[in-house]
Chains A and B, each alone.
Chain A
Amino acid sequence: MFWNDFLESFRQAISYGLEIIAIPVLIYFVITNTSLMLLIGVAAWGFSGEQRRKDFAGREQTMTSQLIQGVSIVVPSYNEEAVIVTSVQAMLSLEYPRHEVIVVDDGSTDGMFEKLLEAFDLVRVERELPSDIPTRGAIIDVHIPRNGRTRLVVVRKENTGKTDSVSVGINAAVEPLVVCVDADSILDPSALIVVTKPFADDPIRVVATGGVIRAENGCKVVAGRIVEVNLDKHWIVRIQAVEYLRAFLFGRAGWSGFGALILISGAFAVFRRDVLVEVGGLDPDSIGEDFEIVMRIHRFMIDNDRDYRVQFVAEPVSWTEVPVSTKVLRAQRKRWHRGLWETLWKYRGMLFNPRYGRVGLVALPYFWLFELIAPLVEIFGPVIIILGLLLEVTSANFVLMFMAVAYGYAILVTLFALAMEELTFHKYSRWSELGALLVASVLENVGYRQVTAWWRLEGWWASLRGKKQVWGTMTRQGFDD
């Protein structure tokens, strides 16, 4: 008797809940997928224009010009013994007329510094670092190569975290543009020329650019350079490759084309050094420091009535190792979502504020509604709808309709992104890889998406509870075969 009453009440509750949320959830998925489709369309339009202009883009002139702005590549590093020497060698040999590499050793406990010392014949020098940006960790010493001409600076400091290390690197930088890259990132040889081109073309207005990140796993790497692009054999990596393509390449390019790019990846970002100093540098307490700094730049520029641009550059790219284990992937997604929430909350004053133009009226509401809240809807929407089916308060047709809109449409969006990739950059050359990407775009919606949504909720919840955030560790395999 009790059980029947409970079941009836539960059925009524679900029925009532479904009446309220079924259609809004359906509409939510339609809008999410349609907006992604639109962003991909905007990005593809921009890419096709860039491809047509490639022949006369003037890369040769950039390489030979004595007037191009110099670049300081800041590489925050902690226990990167396996990759650091190859990585620094590759960065020093990037195609660019004037660039330096600044490695900030964040109190590594492995043999990273010794490897650098030996490989580059480093000597300690008396070099003061300006305090343009406040930093926390005390500087231990500064080293440069013995020949005094190789433009490498190694700064050793106390362990205070990645963000503080980047700030130390910015202080040490002597060039007007600062590129932040991870130690395990592999840059295409012409990456600097292309990612800094917007600064050369519009030096007054462009304040930051972000380059595209792709999955390095599976690629053939020789001497810190990608010589053959391959798709990794792990499905978890293949799915991330598809995800990066849709969200990081086309999503961000779309926002950039729309003039409201609010997130560029810290793994490959370029900033005007003077602007970084003006806004006070990176926030060492933020877990989403790359998102936070771009938001701060937007607010600063608009508050000071400055004409400015933040731009995304789609090619060439930075290649980075994406997580292969669910443990690392979980930590990464928790951190990302936590960073998203904390930054959106910090800049909530810009939300729907007409003073902030497209950023305040379009990009931020979108990120609140379709990025932050997305995992909630992704998890609870399907759960309630399936419960409704089990309790016979909704029809099978409606559930199928939901699946078609939520997942079928999502697969279509990914296929659309893959088609655009094939028409523009076509990085993956084999038919087998193409087939794997097509399968991955379906598999992404079966389990992966729901699990990552749960992890994202965990990150959000941890932040709301005020739990201390720690950076996860990622075991590096090293580059060379």
Chain B
Amino acid sequence: MSVGRLLQITLAVVGTLCLLAIATIVIAKNHRRRAGDKSRYLLSVYRNELLAIASDEDEEGEAKQVLFAVPVPIWERLRPSVIAFLSKVRGTAAEDLSDLLRSRGEIERATEMLTSRSGVVRARGAYLLGLVRDRNLAALLIPLLADRDADVRLVAARSLGVIGATQAADGILQALRTSRGRRGLPAWVAVDALLGMGVEIAPAIENGLTSDYAAVRNVCAQVAGHGTIFSAAPRLSILLATAKEGEVRVSAARALGRVGGANEAIALARYTNSSEGAELRRACAVALGELGRQESLDTLVALLGDDDRRLAQLAASSLIQFGEVGIAKLVAVAVDSSPSARAAQGALDLAKLRGQITTDAVDS
């Protein structure tokens, strides 16, 4: 083929594709503008009704009646706004918006979406079912915790947490497992979901603390701490002492700061030893401050001079949490320019600024 012929073909192809790209840009912009204008217009017509329901001011139910009756094409445009509001409101407003969705057949539609071949559609369905916070729908969502699509598993877990479906606790813990290339649920999503289920799931959490799977133990330790499940303290202590994974031990230490007692304080003090990892030592120092047991005071004072200066700062902050007795210890240390004194003085400065202590308290 001659250069001239090749040139003609190249120019034709490049030129055509350039024109196609420009056409795509123009059509997309035009379409979006028109659709946007139409949605804005429709929303402006029904905005007052929607706002009245979302702000719980539709006492007579008039706004609800208006929205119940809007024609289908208009509802299609309104639906995203209703769903967006539903994710932001609670109480009667949420119930009213849920009723609206129910009356428009959205729950049936979402239920059908759960069996779609598309992961995005299944996730959308699961999301909507969670938003309406209906415990009866939990049974539909639990199987999705084992879905092949990671997004669907994640949305199902969140929805079950929002619903407060205690029967799903084991399923969520199971979904944490990574197997055959299927990534487990992110820990924070699982913890948030489990915390949404309340103390009723304490037995499942306690069992999870002895799981053979590290991610499950880690999540259960976090839930036990944030959910203040006091009965989990003995198992958390065992986890702190025996877990092989540093992350699990750190989570156990943090949890013990919230649910531990005298025995746990002794254990936590032991793990501030310099032979332990930095993260664990820091977590234990913070936990000791949260527990506020007098027998931990000397341990924390000793940490003020530690080579890990972040640990020293955390120990000083923990001493502030002890109140007068901790502050007295800090004042006693903050007398020279040693590393211990600097950490103590830093914590005292901050506490004064925060109004946690008065200048008099420091002076005396």
Q: A128–B346 contact, CB under 8 A? A: yes
Instruction: Type the 1/0 row for A123-143, where 1 means its CB is closer than 8 Å to any CB of B.
Output: 101111111100000000000
Pick from B14, B308, B355: contact of A408, CB under 8 Å: B14
Q: B123–A53 contact, CB under 8 A? A: yes
Q: B183–A53 contact, CB under 8 A? A: no
Task: For the complex, count residues of B whose C-beta is within 8 A of A.
Answer: 57
Residues of B close to A431: CB separation below 8 A: 29
Asked if B11 is at the interface (CB within 8 A of a chain A CB), the reply is yes
Asked if A465 is at the interface (CB within 8 A of a chain B CB), the reply is no
Asked if B4 is at the interface (CB within 8 A of a chain A CB), the reply is yes
Q: CA–CA, A257 to B137, complex, Å? A: 36
Residues of A that sit less than 8 Å from B by CB: 49, 52-53, 55-56, 58, 60-61, 65-68, 123, 125-132, 144-149, 174, 200-203, 395, 397-398, 400-401, 404-405, 408-409, 411-412, 415-416, 418-419, 422-423, 426, 431, 434, 438
Q: A147–B120 contact, CB under 8 A? A: no
- Listed by A's residue number, 10 A-B pairs whose Cβ atoms lie within 8 Å are A55-B80, A67-B187, A125-B349, A126-B342, A144-B350, A201-B154, A398-B3, A404-B11, A405-B10, A412-B18
Asked if B102 is at the interface (CB within 8 A of a chain A CB), the reply is no
Q: A438–B3 contact, CB under 8 A? A: no
Residues from 212 to 230 in B contacting A, C-beta threshold 8 Å? 222, 226
Pick from B29, B345, B353: contact of A426, CB under 8 Å: B29
Pick from A66, A144, A411: contact of B226, CB under 8 Å: A66
Q: A404–B353 contact, CB under 8 A? A: no
Q: B353–A126 contact, CB under 8 A? A: no
Asked if B25 is at the interface (CB within 8 A of a chain A CB), the reply is yes
Pick from A60, A66, A423: contact of B24, CB under 8 Å: A423
B12 to chain A, nearest CB (A): 10
Residues of B close to A423: CB separation below 8 A: 24, 28
Residues of A close to B166: CB separation below 8 A: none
A105 to chain B, nearest CB (A): 19
B98 to chain A, nearest CB (A): 16
Residues of A close to B158: CB separation below 8 A: 58, 61
Asked if B61 is at the interface (CB within 8 A of a chain A CB), the reply is no
Residue among B158, B308, B349 with the highest chain A CB neighbour number at 10 A: B349
Residues of B close to A127: CB separation below 8 A: 313, 346, 349
Pick from B10, B17, B87, B353: contact of A147, CB under 8 Å: B353
Q: CA–CA, A389 to B248, complex, Å? A: 71
Q: CA–CA, A454 to B343, complex, Å? A: 54
Instruction: Type the 1/0 row for B12-35, where 1 means its CB is closer than 8 Å to any CB of A.
Output: 001101100110111011001000
Residues of A close to B38: CB separation below 8 A: none
Q: CA–CA, A66 to B195, complex, Å? A: 11
Contact A397-B18, Cβ < 8 Å, known A148-B353, A422-B28: no
Residues of B close to A174: CB separation below 8 A: 310
Contact A148-B14, Cβ < 8 Å, known A55-B127, A401-B7: no
